[in-house]
Structure 1
Amino acid sequence: MAKVTISLDSDLAIEVMLLAGTRSPQDAVELIVRDYLARGHRTEARTGNVADQDRLADRRSAPEEGR
């Protein structure tokens, strides 16, 4: 996997390290990004993705029958 170098404000890096419970800013940022992505995948699994929204929007805009 390719590596990317990112510059962060030192205060932000320290907060991330404290939140993640690591001693390395690189490890802390990696853990937080992995967690963010995992949460996104869990949310998509529960709610569907963008393609599902288009499919469901057609149902909601149609008038209800039998009223």
Structure 2
Amino acid sequence: MAKVNISLDAELVVEVMVLAGVGSPQDAVEAVVRDYIARGHRTEARVQRQDEPRRTTDSLPPLPEG
């Protein structure tokens, strides 16, 4: 996997390290990024599940009126 070097404010990184309970700045920031991505995937999955019933209802042919 390719690596990227970025500069961050030291206070920000220290706060992330404390909140994540990690001693390494690299590991702390990586944990935050991975958590952010995982939350995005969970949100996408929830939205898809909520939309599925609507899609199946919309795709049914209309009932005959008589």
Instruction: Render the CA deviation track for 1:28-64: whole Å, top value 9, x for unaligned.
Output: 000000000000000000013xxx7xxx7xx7xxxxx
1:2 aligns with 2:6: no
* Structure with max Cα Rg: 2
Structure 2 segments unaligned to the other structure (5+ residues): 59-66
For 1:31 and 1:40, the matched residues in 2 are separated by 14
Q: Residues 1-67 of structure 1: matches in 2 within 5 Å? A: 1-48=1-48
Identity of aligned residues (%): 71
Q: What SS does structure 1 have at the residue aligned with 2:4?
A: coil
For 1:32 and 1:8, the matched residues in 2 are separated by 14
TM-score by length of 1: 0.70
Aligned AA for 1:43? T
Matched residue pairs, number? 51
